[in-house]
Amino acid sequence: MKDPKIAVKAPAAMELEPGKYFWCACGESKNQPFCDGSHKGSEFSPMPFEVTEKKTYYLCQCKHTKNKPFCDGTHRSL
């Protein structure tokens, strides 16, 4: 599998409402950090995740986190 495109070397701080979301895993989405279907025809698939409480979440945009879809600081070493 090839490496995903690094969209941004910083997390997206987002206040999310409870619900289901789809995190972009390929790095090509124009709607970062969420999927917009840009992965179609590639080996990547969006990652579904659910939020159960309204609060600020830090979503990975470098696509190399070990805690997908959340930032773990990996962007600092890329």
pLDDT of residue 43: 96
- Mean pLDDT by runs of 10 across the 78 residues of the chain is 93 98 98 97 96 98 97 97
pLDDT of residue 52: 98
Domain range for 36 is 12-77
CA distance 38 to 53: 28
Q: In this structure, is residue 16 part of a structural domain?
A: yes
Q: In this structure, is residue 7 part of a structural domain?
A: no
pLDDT of residue 36: 98
Q: In this structure, is residue 42 part of a structural domain?
A: yes
pLDDT of residue 17: 98
pLDDT of residue 15: 98
CA distance 29 to 72: 20
pLDDT of residue 27: 97
In the chain the first and final C-alpha atoms are separated, in Å, by 18
CA distance 50 to 40: 22
> In the structure encoding, which two tokens stand for residue 33, read together?
């950090």
Is residue 32 within 8 A of residue 42, CB to CB? The reply is no
